[in-house]
Chains A and B, each alone.
Chain A
């Protein structure tokens, strides 16, 4: 039993360190998704916030965002070296689905042209066929 507790404590401590390191590198990977085609004139400016969470099977991260009319936003996600680890859904205020990247091979980023201001819920979770747990990062950028 003592060995189990000791092992568990060690694993948890290492997991904690690993989580921080994993998220750190993932934010940099995710940020590249915001700027992937900046040379073609599509420059997205980060909203200055980092949305990151440790998620496990059957868990998701969700947050509410106000998207302004007349703007174009990019939502970028990552959870590892593969581009298709994260599924993200965008719902309106009534939880009507507006978009899911699952219909587009889990594409790691997607742009949203907004005609009129609205509040949306962004839900992100791991595609369990590809990854079962780990750090998940979402970044939001907008075009000036």
Chain B
């Protein structure tokens, strides 16, 4: 079997070239420092170098970043008390004037929304959803977070599971819209923001609880971090993300010191219920000094992004 890299390198540029020529005006790099009017158009480079830059724009990869909802679910099972100090200010939305800040903080707000929903703080949750709707509009993500979704969210206020499903629908629609419109950089930034915020939740929650499962979950973020660094690096042709990548690489240095053990165990399959039980064993060994260093770094990175 050939992989998707093969496909993207050889075939997809030919399919996408007509679309870029006709719709290229939508292709913008994300400038973290500039305002709305300072985004840099990169269409020409892509049209000229369809074999190289096009692959960078499309990225040629499928990737997965863990959902912040799962982290918040674990935290609630370990720390039962809602901690409002963990969350960002949903009113800060007007301070985000660049695409970079808007996208990163749309991810951050998504994690905050998930946390508030899981703790059944509906008032807080709705305030984040309203801010996400604003950021979604500003990022041009048509229809993902609209008034209908907001109303459905409020109507299901007595059912957190339904609220989480509705919230994830919004992010899934947004992710699809961005990928369909070749805005993979924005999609990546949103996922990065959510991942950083959820790791921040785990870090602060560990400090107060010293729960080993939370420590392990922090260590288990190694693959997600590696994926994020690879993606941001792919999109960093204009070096807009250099600082964030550098910070994350320093963080990755700590993750390299964590030991992971894995032992394959034969899974069992239940055809009647369409389910497989994966029984392989694994463990995480993380030194306290390494964990403390990760916690300090993620706090710094997170706080630099939400301001």
| Contact pick for B62, options A23, A27, A51, A114, CB 8 Å | A51
Chain A interface residue number, banded: 35 or more
- Nearest B residue (CB) for A52: B179
Q: How far is the CB of B66 from chain A (nearest CB, A)?
A: 6
Residue of A nearest to B268 (CB): A113
Selected contact of B2 from candidates A49, A58, A144, CB within 8 Å: A58
A45 at interface by CB-CB < 8 Å: yes
Task: Verify A142–B14 contact, CB threshold 8 A.
Answer: no
B24 CB–A CB distance under 8 Å: no
B220 in the interface (beta carbon within 8 A): yes
Q: Are A113 and B278 in contact (CB under 8 A)?
A: yes
> If A54-B12, A59-B4 touch, does A46 touch B169 (CB 8 Å cutoff)?
yes
Chain B residues with CB under 8 A of A29: none
Contact for B164 among A45, A59, A65, A69, CB less than 8 A: A45
A118 part of interface (Cβ distance < 8 Å): yes
Complex interface: stretch among B33-41, B90-98, B279-287 = B279-287
Given contacts A49-B64, A111-B274, contact A16 B165 (CB under 8 A): no
Q: Which of A48, A56, A64, A125 contacts B227 (CB 8 A)?
A: A64
Among B267, B273, B283, B284, max chain A CB count under 10 A is at B267
Is residue A123 contacting chain B, with contact meaning CB distance below 8 A? yes
Chain A residue with Cβ nearest B61 = A63
A48–B168 CB distance below 8 A: yes
Residues of B within 8 A of A43 (CB): 161, 165
- A132 contacts the other chain (CB 8 A): no
Contact A92 B275 (CB under 8 A): no
B67 on interface, CB distance cutoff 8 Å: yes
Q: Is the CB of B6 within 8 A of A115?
A: no
Measured between beta carbons, the chain B residues less than 8 angstroms from A68 are 66, 70, 74, 217, 220
Is B191 on the interface with A (CB-CB < 8 A)?
A: yes
- How many Å from the CB of A9 to the closest CB on chain B? 7
Residues of A within 8 A of B63 (CB): 63-64
Let me know if B191 and A109 touch, CB within 8 A. no
- Report which residue of B73, B172, B224 has the largest number of chain A beta carbons within 10 angstroms of its beta carbon: B172
Query: Closest 7 A-B residue pairs measured CB to CB?
Result: A48-B171, A63-B62, A13-B18, A111-B275, A60-B1, A47-B67, A46-B168
Interface residues of A (CB under 8 A from B): 9, 12-13, 15-16, 19-20, 23-24, 27, 31, 35, 43, 45-56, 58-69, 71-72, 92-94, 96, 98-99, 104, 107, 109-119, 123, 125, 139-140, 142, 144
If A55-B7, A111-B274 are given as contacts, then 15 extra A-B residue pairs at C-beta distance below 8 Å, sorted by A number, are A19-B15, A45-B165, A47-B67, A49-B65, A52-B179, A58-B2, A59-B7, A61-B4, A63-B63, A66-B64, A99-B269, A107-B274, A110-B274, A116-B282, A118-B262
